[in-house]
Structures are given as structure tokens and as C-alpha cells.
Amino acid sequence: MATAIEESHSDPMGYQAPDSFARFLADLKGVAREERQPLINPKLFASALSMDIQTLASHAHVHRTTISRAQGAEKLQRYLRDALRVLGAAADINGDFHDALFWFRNEPIGAFDYKTPEQLVSEGRADDLLRYVKALQAGVVG
């Protein structure tokens, strides 16, 4: 039986999000190790979030061909790193990675004009969002 990393390497778009954020990071690291590049694989990331390549490119503010031809592009990698920071914090709070994925993609936040976390990260507001998540964890907001 092939591991998630082996499957993702041969077909990153066929990858499904694992049950934990730690496993997701391990899969991303495994692919980076296989590819011998310390980069977040955008196709693996997109697949885990059930996101098409055009949507990922739009959120990262890069051309869609950047996803396959220039995976190391700073704008793309910055978006992926920021999204991972937010997803990690969300998974820490509720303990369920799949709930964190759903929250990230779909749940509007009133404090941010009902934008989703995905939209906020795309706008470069990951730090604001992380402060909000930490406040939720502390019981200050909500």
C-alpha cells in the first residue's frame, strides 16, 4: 500500500487531507524531501483543500502557470506559509483538522466584514487573523 506521500508525488491533485494537521505537515515535508527543495508543494496544498489551481493562483496573486513552473515564487510560497500558520492555529483550537479546513475555506467572520479566513490570508491579513484566533482561544472574542 502506497503512503500518502508516494501517492501525492505521483498525483498531487489526487491527495486528500489527512486527519491531522501534523500529518499534513509531514506529508508536505515528505514531498519537499523527495523533490529536494524546501518548498511547500502548491498542488498538494490545493488538493488537500479541494481547491483548483486557478483558485490557488488567484488567492496567491500569481499566474496559474506559476503553480507548476515556478513553485518557489515568493508570493506563492508566502501565501502557502501564511495559510499553514492559520490552519495550524485553527486546528490547535478545535482539535479537528477537517473542521479547520472547512472553517478556512467557508466560514465568514463578522469581525472582518464577513470575509472568510481564506480571503483574509489572500489579502495579506494572516497576522490579523492569527490575533483573532488567539483571542478566540483565550475566550475574549465570540
Neighbour-count burial of 2, counting CB atoms closer than 10 A to its CB (0-12 exposed, 13-18 middle, 19+ buried): exposed
Residues 40 and 76: beta-carbon distance below 8 Å: no
pLDDT confidence tier of residue 1, bands split at 50, 70 and 90 = very low
Domain range for 54 is 21-141
Whether residue 12 lies inside any domain: the answer is no
Task: With a cut of 70, say whether residue 51 has pLDDT above it.
Answer: yes
Number of domains in the chain: 1
pLDDT digits (tens, 9 = 90+) for 59-90: 999 999 999 899 899 999 999 999 999 999 99
Whether residue 10 lies inside any domain: the answer is no
Whether residue 15 lies inside any domain: the answer is no
